[in-house]
Amino acid sequence: MPTVVRSYSKINLGLVIGPVRPDGFHGLTTLYQTLELHDLVTVSAARAAETKITLTTNDERVPTDAKNTCWKMVEKALGRLDIAAEVSIHIEKRLPVQGGMGAGSANAAAALIGLERELGAALPGTERLQLAGEVGSDVPLFLIGGTILGLGRGELVYPFPDIPSVFCVMAIPEVGVSTPQAFRDWDALELTQDSKPDRLKELSLAYASLHAEPGTSGIIRGSNPGNKQGGSEQAQGSQQDDLAENTLLSLVRTGVENDFERVVFPVYPSLREIKRELMGTGRKAALYAALSGSGSALFGLYRSEADARAAQQRVQDAGTKALITKTLPRSTYWSRMFAE
């Protein structure tokens, strides 16, 4: 029986680009957040005398040979496991290609998870993350899920205290943005800029400050004497909503932003307008809105489903596809992984 894996997506809650490193990659600091929106990756595998991989998909833009991240992941994993197998992979694409939602990277992680279940064999945790980082900078985050701090070129991942689930609207423009070109444009922009502080370090400190012990600033947050014990499910849900909102607002106050917006928006002005529609104004305004990764997808996070639906309508009225989803905490990410 084939294994069907939900290949979840991600957004970036802020992204700072550092200088080019000796290995040619840029240093990054980002906070990843997984979402409920997903592709489906189906894996069938059986041990054999020699390895054979076949890959199919419902999207003609997705490569079906060794250039595909799923193919690379499975081939490398079998080599490390010292197992030969016949493997069939089918990718049902629901997420945009070149959308900044990590779809191809998530597919690779899902293919590994499916392969391990099919063969009843798995790599040690640290080796899995190392392998994932070799396949792609965004792949390791999908072996953790939830809210994740990304450093290095994004492949050094550290589980972060989960932000409670909130409503999210994803705007899916028809245009695709090339990540390598976005980095080239960033390098060209940086050549014209004066020297500035170490923003990688600044953003890392800002992220860390979000989860300082309550009261360390002299302000006791989240205190509600009337609900010290028990409480109704509605009250507990309200407290979770308040925690999510307070955490996200604290994040916004740090000045978090996505550096890619500085080079992507001038090339694709329509994306800046979509961000404005997502953000909105007044009481129904988004808690936070931004480009995800290098784009082209953008997102907004909202206090309520009603606010999210209003934002979805604004974006769609302006001519762009928009989907409502929710952020996906780590425990839920893994409990829903297999589509059985």
| Alpha-helical runs (H) found in the chain | 69-81, 103-119, 125-135, 179-190, 199-209, 233-253, 261-267, 269-279, 305-317, 330-335
Return contacts of 19-26, CB within 8 angstroms, 24+ apart: 19/190, 20/187, 21/153, 25/137, 25/153, 26/153, 26/183, 26/186
Q: Using CA atoms, how far apart are residues 109 and 132, in angstroms rounded to an integer?
A: 7
Q: Is there a catalytic annotation at residue 307?
A: no
SS3 206: helix
Catalytic annotation, pick one of 39, 138, 259, 307: 138
Catalytic annotation, pick one of 10, 72, 93, 275: 10
Strand partners, 34: 10
Q: Using CA atoms, how far apart are residues 263 and 258, in angstroms rounded to an integer?
A: 10
SS3 54: strand
Considering only CA atoms, which of 56, 53, 31, 24 is closest in space to residue 42? Answer: 56
Q: Is there a catalytic annotation at residue 10?
A: yes
Active site members: 10, 138
